[in-house]
Structure 1
Amino acid sequence: MNGHGFTSAFATQLAEYVEFKRAMGCDGASRIWYLNEFDSYCAEHERTLFDQETVEAWVTAQLATSGRYRSWMSYIRDLGRFLRATGHTDAYVLSDRWKSAVVPARPYLLTAKEIDAFFAAAAQLNTASPWRWQASAFFTLMHSSGLRTCEVRRLLVEHVDLPGRRIDVIWSKGRRSRRLPITSDIADVLAACDDTSRSTIGAGRETFFTSSTGQPVTAATVGVMFNRIWDNAGLARPASGQRPRPYDFRHHFAYANIERWMADGIDVGAMLPYLSTYMGHATVESTYYYIHTSPGFMDAYGHITAGAGSLLPEVGFE
C-alpha cells in the first residue's frame, strides 16, 4: 500500500511514475484514476510482468466501458516509456495501432446575440458556490483572451497581474508558457472577482478560480456551469450537430480577430503569427484550423493567402 492506493506488483513503479509526473507539473486526477484502474486489474488478475499481454489485456477490458474515447491510453503508453527509461528495459510500450483516428470536433459558431445573452445570464447566476461571482470572469477570459478551459482553471493568483494588466499562462499545452496583455475592461472584471473571492474565501487561495472547498475548479464543473448559464439565458440548443460548449469561446476569439482585421483592411497573413503566439499554438497551422471553420472562411482564406505568401502551406479541405 502507498499514498496513492496502489496494491499490485507494480505499486512501487506506479508511485514513482506519479511523483515523476507531478514534479514535471502533470498532476491531473484523470491520470491517477486510470492508473488505479490498471493497478486494480493487475492485482485482481495477478499480473506481475509489464509485458504486451498484461497491458493490452487491460486496454481491451477498459475499452469495453470507455467507448470511442481513447485519450486515457496515453497514460499507460507513457508509463511504459517511463519504466524503460528507469531501467526496466523489457517494459512494453503500448503500440500506436491502438490509437483511434483523430477527428477534430466541429465548433459551435457563437453569434453576438448568444454571447450577449450568455454573459447577461452569467452575471445573474444564482448559486451558493463561488461560481456566483466567478462565472462572468471565468468565461470572459475564454471569450476575450482565447484561453483554453484548462488554462483558466489552472491560473494561479500570483500569475494575474491586475495593475500591470497581464496574466501569465505557465506550462500549458506542449509545456509552453506565455505572457498575455489584457485590456482594462478585462482587468476590471477580474479585479471584481478577486475582491469578492478574497472577502468570501480568504487571501490564501492558490488558484484564481476556486471551488467552495478552496480547490481548483474541475473541467466537469465548468461544463455544468456553462450549460446552466446557457439554459438560464433561454438560448436554444440545436437538435442535431455540434452543441455549444465552453471551448467555443476560444474558437470565437480566433475567427473574431480575423474578421475584425479584414474589416479594418489589416494584412491578416502578417497578423496570423501574432494570433498564433497569443493563443499558445506551436505552429501557425494550428491557428489556421480555427479559421477554416469560421463563418466567413472563404473571405478569410482569400485575405490570408493573398498576404501570407509562403507563410502558410497548402491545406486540403475535403
Structure 2
Amino acid sequence: MHTVAVLALDKVVPFDLSVPVDTFGRTRLPDGGKAYDIRVCAPHPELSAGAFTLRAPYGLAELPAADTIVVPGTEDPAAPLPPGVADALREAAANGTRIASICVGAFVLAATGLLDGMRATTHWVAAEALAARHPRVTVDPNVLYVDNGSVLTSAGAAAGLDMCLHMIRKDYGSEVAAHTARLSVMPLEREGGQAQFIEHPLPPAPAGATLEPLLDWLGAHCDRDLTLDEIAARAGMSARTLNRRFREQTGTTPLQWLHRARVRRAQHLLETTTYPVERIAAQAGFGSPTAFRERFRRVVGTSPHLYRKSFRPR
C-alpha cells in the first residue's frame, strides 16, 4: 500500500484539499483492498480552512516517510512557509518521495527550490505571479498538469484530479485508474487535450489613451475583413504610425488585437447560442470555418465544439 501525505498549510483551500483525499482514498485494487493510506499533515494540529477549522492528525515528521506528498493551494500563495516545511519537503525529495502540488500549491514547491530548472504549471490566474516570483521555474499556463517524474504540478482543483488519476495509473495501471475515474464521474483523460480554459482579455488601452475610440470601433466591426491600411485610414494616420502607437498603448499590433477580438466574439456566441460553427465563423469575421477552428484552437487551447460543450448552459 502506498502512503500519501497531504500537506495542509494555514488557510488551505478546502476543494484543493479534498481532491487528493477523496481520489486516492476511493482507489481500490482488483481484490477490493485499499490502494493508498491517506495522511493529512500540517505544521500545527489546527489550521484555518476559510469558513471552518481543520484538525490534522499528523505532523511534518510523516512527510519524509511518505511515498507521495500532495500540497494543496492556500488563500495566500505568497505567504512565507511555516518553520520546518521547506526542510521536510527537501528531505522527502532527497529520499525519492514523489511530490505534487495542486493549483497555487506550486508556490510552496517553488519556495523550497524543488522546481528550479523545471517546467511547472499552476492556475492560469496565478501563472504570471509564479513566474515573476520564481524566475528559475519555467511556468507553462497552458496545460492541466506537468509531470517531471518525481515532482508534479497541476492547475486548478479539477486539473488536480486529472493529475491524481495520472499518478494512480502510474502506480497501479490503467484498470485501477479507470475504476477510480468512474467513481469520480470523471474521464481518465479529459477531452480537449491538456489545455486550461484561459480567459484571453483584449489588451486594453490606458485610460484616456488616444486609441480608445478606435478600439471601440474595431470591437464593433471585428466581423469585417479589415486590412491594416483600412484601420489606419479610420485612425487618420499611416500604417507605420498606427502600428507604433498601438504597441505603445496596448502592447500588441492592430491585426493581433483584431484577431483576439474575433476569438472573444466567437467565445460569446459559442456560450450563448446554438449557431453552427459556420455561422459563428462568419459572424466573428473569420474567412472560413477552417481558419476559425485553427485560430480558436491556437488561442483558447481547444476546439470550438469542446469549448461549447464545456461552457454553454444546458
TM-score range, shorter chain: under 0.3
* TM-score normalised by length of structure 1: 0.27
Question: Could you say which structure has the greater relative contact order, defined with CA pairs below 8 angstroms and 6 or more residues apart?
Answer: 1
Structure with more of its chain in helix, by fraction: 1
* Rg (Cα) greater in structure: 2
